[in-house]
Every structure is written in structure tokens, then in C-alpha cells.
Amino acid sequence: MNIAALVSGGVDSAVSVHLLKEQGYTPHLFYIKIGPDRDTEWNCTSEEDVEICRWLAKRYGCPFDIIDLHKEYWEQVVAYTMDKARQGLTPNPDVMCNKLIKFGCFEAKAGHEFDKTATGHYAATEEIDGKVWLATSPDPVKDQTDFLCQLDYAQVSKLMFPTGHLWKHEVRDIADKAGLLNAKRRDSQGICFLGDIDFRDYIKAHLGENPGDVRELETGHKIGEHKGLWFYTIGQRKGLGFGGGPWFVVKKNLKRNILFVSHGYEPEKVYKDHIEMHDMHFITEPLECPSVTFKIRHTPEFHKGILVQNPDGSWHLQAEEKIHGVAPGQFCVIYDENHHLCYGSGEIE
């Protein structure tokens, strides 16, 4: 079996290669180059990443190539991110990077020559009655199915997750015992194309500022001025910079360019017991049972709810308990009752 292995310079993808070699495979390693735009000097670790990948390929006798998807990334993922932010929505570029770039453009450019594509994601695939499903990792903290929730059936069917059955500490142990160069390397944080740069700074560089009023939702009183609605997300508390807090972001009025906030440590307005979604995407097939579990951000916790389709084709999710910070533009990721199989996701309205 011919296997393409996506490597990043991190410990997870390195251990994936180690495990594949132990199973008798010699994968072809690929590093996907996306990086920052030419006009910006970001603190990017791509050179170090590539050197580690070259070392890994030499260590295990694997062919290695760099696939430059820089142009595709900026035309698709960054364009999506800026468009959603400009609308005052909360984008998720990492989800779209997986869908469009890592398992989209890569497949068209190189992956189509291979039987399988292996990655270091904490996820699994499971075959049930002849159909392949995306399944969760046993490590609830590291599980990454929420970042894979927009993949289609063909993409999921071709994937291999050699580390998907492991906990993070087990991956570190394997790397340490195998003497891997990156065994103790710190995990990357934040959005993949920004490195250590703050997302707000990047948004500002591309969209600028658009000042407007900040008002208390309950009274309508002006408490300050914001620099642009795209800098804030529903449920946000940290980094607001408004006096007399704490304040929570609870609503945006795009037409009037007003940011509404509510006062207190956990104001009621920050919570919702229902979620409306459009563009519902099922990976393998639509769910049969309306009882589901779900999450709206990358956390270990799953919430329970009932998912039904509205007459207009949109979807309504009634949560068992109120959820903090439901933000339009986010993906609500849907799982079975035991949060084992990932059905797919819909964009929150």
C-alpha cells in the first residue's frame, strides 16, 4: 500500500511516521508550505519545521517533498477568514484549511497518487456496515475531530491516523524512546498560518479599523467605543478594555456598527439553550436519531441536545443545558449520543 504522510515538524506527525515504519510501511513524507504573505514579517517556524522533516525522512529512509500550497491557501482559506470577519462573524480557518488545503488541494496536487494519506491528528476512522465514519480519539483534550468536521466522505475514507488511538502522553513517550529529534518540542498553538502573531493584529492589518459605539444591552447606555466589530466574538470577556467591567460581548448590530455588552461575571445574555444552523454538512450519512452530543469550540466537553431539521431546510439544535458564547459563524460539530462518531457540522446563524 502506498501511503502519503503529512508531516509538520511536530511530534504527532513524527510519531505517525515511526508507527507506520513499525507496521512495515515506508510512507512518502510531504510538508505543506503555506506560510505568511510576502508583505508581512511574521515570526514563523517553517524553516525549522522543514529541517526536522528532512531529518525524519533521512532517519526512516522515506522520500520527502515540499508541496507549495501558499497561493491556494491565501486564495481560499484566508479569503474565507477575512470575508467572515468582515461580516462580523466568527470564522474557523483551521477547519477550512483541513477541508480545502490539507485534504483538498494536496489531494489534487500529489495525494491522488497514493492509496492512503496519514496524518498526526488525534482522530480515528471506523468502518460500520461497509461505511467509513470519522471517530473521536480516546484523549478528550487532544481530540481533533472538531477540526475535521467539514471533510467529505471521500476525504475521510482515505485517511489514516496512526496516533489516533493514543493519548498525548503516550505519543510523547514513544517519541522519547525512539529518540526523535522533536520528542520534547512544544505543540504549536493558534492559527496555522500566523505562527506567534495575534489574530487581532492580523485582522487589523487586512481590514483596518472601523470605530463604533459600545453599549450596554440592558440599558442602551454607551460605555465606550470599539475599533471594529471584527475584533470581537460573542461570549468574549478578555481583552475588551472597557472600564467598569467585567463585560461580556453579547450581540453585534452590523448595520449600526454597535457592539452590545452585558455586565457581570456570567450574565444570562451570554448563554443560549438553542442553536440555529445552516449549510448542515454530514460526512457519511444523515443522522437517524435526533439525540446527539455536540461542541461549538475546541474543548474536552460535549453537550447533549436534540437536532431536528426546520421546514426551510435549516437545522435547530435544542440543548439540554444553556451554552456559553454561541457565536454566529462558528461550526457546531455534531456527534452521536456517546460522542464517539462525528456526524459532521453546521454553521451557526
316 CA to centre of own chain = 22
- Pick the closest to residue 241 from 258, 257, 261, 267 (CA basis): 261
Of these residues, 53, 105, 192, 332, which one is catalytic? 192
Of these residues, 62, 97, 149, 342, which one is catalytic? 97
- At 269, the amino acid letter reads K
Q: Has 97 been annotated as catalytic?
A: yes
- At 82, the amino acid letter reads M
Neighbours of 11 (CB within 10 A): 25
Rg (CA), the chain: 21
Question: Is the separation of the CB atoms in 80 and 92 below 8 Å?
Answer: no
241 CA to centre of own chain = 27
Query: Taking the CA of residue 171 as centre, how many other CA atoms within 13 Å lie in the half-sphere pointing to its CB?
Result: 27
Q: Has 342 been annotated as catalytic?
A: no
Neighbours of 320 (CB within 10 A): 12
Q: Does 290 sit behind a cis peptide bond, omega within 30 degrees of 0 on the bond before it?
A: no
218 CA to centre of own chain = 34
- Locus of grid cell 483551521: 94
Which residues does the annotation mark as catalytic? 97, 192
